[in-house]
Structure 1
Amino acid sequence: MNCDVVIIGGGATGVGVLRDAAMRGLKAILVERVDLAQGTTGRYHGLLHSGGRYVVSDPESATECAEENAILKRIHPDAVEATGGLFVSVAGDDDEFPDRFIKGAEATGVPAAEITIAEARKREPRLTPKLARAFEVQDGTVDGWRMVWGAVESAREYGAECLTYHRVTDIDVKDGAVRGVMCHADKTGEDVYIECRAVVNAAGPWGGHIAAMAGEHDVQVVPGRGIMVAMNHRLVNSVVNRCVYPADGDIIVPVHTVSIIGTTDHRDDDPDHLVIERDEVQQMLDAGEDLIPGFRESRALHVWVGARPLLQDKRVAADDTRHMSRNMSVVRHDVQGLITVAGGKLTTYRLMAARVVDAVCEELGENRPCRTAEEPVASGSNYKVTHRLAEVEAAKKADHGAPDRDPVICECEFVTKKMITDLLDEQPDATFDDLRRQLRIGMGPCQGGFCASRTAGIAHEHGCWTAAQTNELLRLFMKNRWGGIYPILYGAQAREASLDDWIYRSTLDLDGLPVTELPAGAELPSATRYPAKEAAK
């Protein structure tokens, strides 16, 4: 295989580079060691930043977010919900910060306006009665997976290729310049060499490891570990930010049918082994209670953890990831044709990609303008939180009362059998976690309790896996689900978990079934959830 540029990393930034490069006429190939958006992008908070969060702490990032916010709403209409947002201060918060906030918004070009407490509570009735001030901003929510898949489909229309489950094993450097990339296809066992003129290292928190393969050992990408907690339903319908200097647990985001609170920020050394600590979960619940009384009594569904790819900031302590800049960094190395990108955030992924491809074009001695801000991705449909219900109801009405030919398999997320079989036709080797990311199977209140076994049966019936392989994939899927359930075993979710445990360990005897090897490539480091140490005992 050969191309102009190989992009390493299938998160938002890497996929953005793929699309941008392809639209500029470069032959581009992306390689990703697992599935798309399975690293930092897939472990996301779901926030499309207005820029308000950074108007005081990081003005440059604030301006970038404000500009990209408008662009992403236009080019990714099916992945973005324009919920709007509020910044609210609570009695006892820093009295001076709201004034700094509104001045910072004016200086950075972030649209923001103060509204009355009555108006804020009218919009969000669950907000604490201790509100002191409130500001309206243009936050939104984003489905990171939809955004990535849309960008990939757009890139493919321009001739780009995307190789998932291809792990980079070496970067070929000769005479001070990159010549190619060696990959191992984990699902087939084949080694694949891709000849190229440039390599973009968009591996996120794994970026230092990738750069070292090319002999560049000075790339210090610091993984900033953060947890998020999904609550059972929309406690808010717009993004609610606490109007304070960026801190832990100060944002509640309505994504699809849930609310997500986050996040913490601590340095970690290994982005493949991120631990969910129970005390951090309690910290999130306490922070939610400050903004929404009764938050703790609401049903917590799942906890997950991701790692921000931050370049070491010499202005702060090496372990102080909370105060490291969120600015994007595009690094051109001594090795000709090698470019590393780190920092930034999901909201600025398109802008990061544009700057990276500008650098690639300079390396190749070409001048090709960026067009990604002008052309929407292929789908073009506007996102609505009720879209799945509308699709299911429309299909049932079309049957005119006939027997249900397309039963709902996942009642929590309205996933039908046809949705599953259609996806399996396209991706016959998809694992159940692959199906989860694309269809949201197992992401509702039952956390796979009812739908996972049904999905397993459909996949086996469809001829995708043997009975033994299906059992192993089901075991892996439930293991991954339980990793995010252990730290929140209280209240309604504890009762649900007990029922799930009874179904799988008693009725189905999943632990007692014969053990066989998982299909190649099914279990990789980033595909596994890691509960806290005490929960794993």
Structure 2
Amino acid sequence: MNTEPTVLVVGGGATGAGIARDLALRGVDVLLVERGGLGTGTTGRSHGLLHSGARYAEADATGARECLTENRVLQDIAGACVRETGGLFVRLENDDPDYFEAKLRACREVDIPTERLDADTARERVPDLSDAVVEAFEVPDGTIFPSRLVAANAADAAENGATIRTQTPVEGIDVTDGKVDGVRLGGQTETTVNPTCVVNATGAWAGKIADMAGLRLEMAPSRGVMVAVEYDGLGPVLNRCREPSDGDIIVPHRQTAVVGTTSVPVTDPDGYDTAEWEVERAIEECAAMVPAVAEATEHRRWWGVRPLYAPDEAGTDRRGISRGFTLLDHGRESIANFYSVVGGKLTTYREMAEVTADRVCEQLGVDEPCLTASERLPGADDPERLDRFVDRYGGPNPADAEGHSD
């Protein structure tokens, strides 16, 4: 392993793997380190929704457009890492009709394809919909198999010269004269590396890595529960069309449906309590859309931590914090070769990686274009090959723990 990589990427979720792939395709020497297996943080503990942008349309038009664009890119490049299921936003009889109209109007204003459905037509799409559903509209939501997506990005990075090291935590960062000049690695890679640039892509853990370099990064993580129940044939993603709340989404994954989620502030993404009420709330609220999920056998449950960046937020309600992403160039503070990319969504990981790689390449003087929006991921048309990548880099994570080829 080269102990003087041009770029050290810390964090092996979708964003970190995406950055490694982007830089490697531009000919940059990259080392990616992850303290566990790839995708073991937020990426692999999500509900695996491929956003159309509709969930954010009325509150964040820019973010909604980003989701729609990246949704289409992933359908082009990611093959069997994603699945085009479609999605429905459903209004129940006690839900605010004005909110439904505002959501539908906002989707159309940002060019998200929609089709309005009456209750009977919606039930033709999803026969188990509750009798309380009075109307719905279709959007191009889909699902992501996060383990495959991360592993395919890492595999492509490696095929283009990057080094990927799992089970390799960062144990210390040495800063001299306003630059990182050494990063101490542990686990299976006991060594110190001396990169030209460091990218902190550790999501909810970004504050911990920044702290090692003497920087303060205001993260505001929140936990949310997902419950996979045995339920085949759901079809589209189902979204409750109301103000964001607990238990407002059901995501189809193979022979299961993932119901969720909750939003509870946490102070430490490595150590937080969980509560049975979260599971009960998620199932109860989702059962208002599809009563059958309340009686379905639970397959597994897991909690994920959202990597929310909120330097100006003081309150405890974190639902209103932007799901957009921010690239922080710490040279503006004190460390000229250190970057952190925070916030964002799984759907927009590739754009986050592109923006980060552009900035790093600018500093390095690398004048090569981004190729990740057009170059298909390796294994995109071969689910068995994708699953071999997953096994290589740590195995499937909870969001797609069934884990093997369709």
Q: Partner of 1:37 in structure 2?
A: 39
1:330 aligns with 2:331: no
- Checking the alignment, whether the CA contact within 8 Å between 1:4 and 1:198 is kept in structure 2 is yes
Residue in 2 that maps onto 1:379 = 379
Show the counterpart of 1:265: 263
Tell me which of the two structures has the higher relative contact order, counting C-alpha pairs closer than 8 angstroms and 6 or more residues apart: 2
Amino acid at match of 1:107: E
Instruction: Flag the 1:212–1:317 CA change in 2: closer, same or farther, 3 A.
Output: closer
For the Cα contact (< 8 Å) 1:81–1:141, is it kept in 2? yes
Q: Which residue of 2 aligns with 1:356?
A: 356
TM-score computed with the length of structure 1 as normaliser: 0.71
Judged with a 3 Å threshold, the aligned counterparts in structure 2 of structure 1 residues 326 and 442 are, in CA distance, closer, same or farther, namely closer
Larger radius of gyration: 1
Flag the 1:105–1:224 CA change in 2: closer, same or farther, 3 A: same
Unaligned runs of 5+ in 2: none
Amino acid at match of 1:139: D
Q: Which residue does the alignment assign to 1:463?
A: none
Asked if the contact 1:274–1:306 (Cα under 8 Å) also holds between the matched residues in 2, the reply is: no
Cα distance in 2 for residues equivalent to 1:423 and 1:330 = 29
Amino acid at match of 1:337: N
Aligned twin of 1:318:
315
Give the number of the structure whose residues are more often helix, by fraction: 1
Runs of 4+ in structure 1 off by over 6 angstroms are 438-444
Q: Give me the CA root mean square deviation.
A: 2.3
- Cα deviation, residue 97, structure 1: 0.9
**Counterparts of 1:441 and 1:259, CA distance in 2:** 13
Deviations 1:488-511 (A, max 9, x none): xxxxxxxxxxxxxxxxxxxxxxxx
Query: For the structure 1 residues 273 and 94, does the alpha-carbon distance in structure 2 shift closer, same or farther, using more than 3 Å as the test?
Result: same
Matches within 5 A, 1:50-129: 50-129=52-131
Q: Is the 8 A contact 1:312 1:318 kept in 2?
A: no
Distance of aligned partners of 1:441 and 1:212 in 2 relative to their CA distance in 1, 3 Å threshold? closer
The aligned amino acid for 1:363 is Q
Structure 1 residues 34 and 277: CA distance shift in structure 2, 3 A? same
- Give, in whole Å, the separation in 2 of the partners of 1:368 and 1:266: 42
When the two structures are superposed, what TM-score results if normalisation uses the length of structure 2?
0.93
Alignment correspondent of 2:174? 172
Deviates more, 1:173-182 or 1:3-12: 173-182
Secondary structure (helix, strand or coil) at the match of 2:362 reads helix
Is 1:3 the counterpart of 2:11 in the alignment?
no
Task: Give the distance between the partners of 1:225 and 1:85, measured in 2 at CA.
Answer: 24
Does the Cα contact within 8 Å between 1:40 and 1:306 map onto a contact in 2? Answer: yes
Once the two structures are TM-superposed, the CA of residue 242 in structure 1 deviates from its matched residue by: 0.9
Q: 1:295 to 1:76 in 2, by over 3 A?
A: same
1: distance between equivalents of 2:99 and 2:398?
40
**Does residue 246 of the first structure (1) align with residue 244 of the second (2)?**
yes
Alignment partner, residue 210 of structure 1: 209
Structure 1 residue 280 corresponds to structure 2 residue 278: yes
Task: Check conservation: 1:313, 1:324, Cα contact below 8 A.
Answer: no
User: For structure 1, which runs of at least 5 residues remain unmatched after alignment?
Assistant: 389-418, 445-537
Deviates more, 1:151-160 or 1:166-175: 166-175
Rounded to whole Å, the distance in 2 between the matches of 1:341 and 1:27 is: 19
- 1:115-162 Cα distance to aligned partner (Å, 9 max, x none): 232221111000011222211110001100000011111111110110
Contact 1:232 1:259 in 2 (8 A): yes
Counterpart AA for 2:310: Q
How much does 1:286 deviate?
A: 1.1
Listed one character per residue, the Cα deviations across residues 448-476 of structure 1 (whole Å, up to 9, x for unaligned) are: xxxxxxxxxxxxxxxxxxxxxxxxxxxxx
Residue type matched to 2:321 in 1?
Answer: M
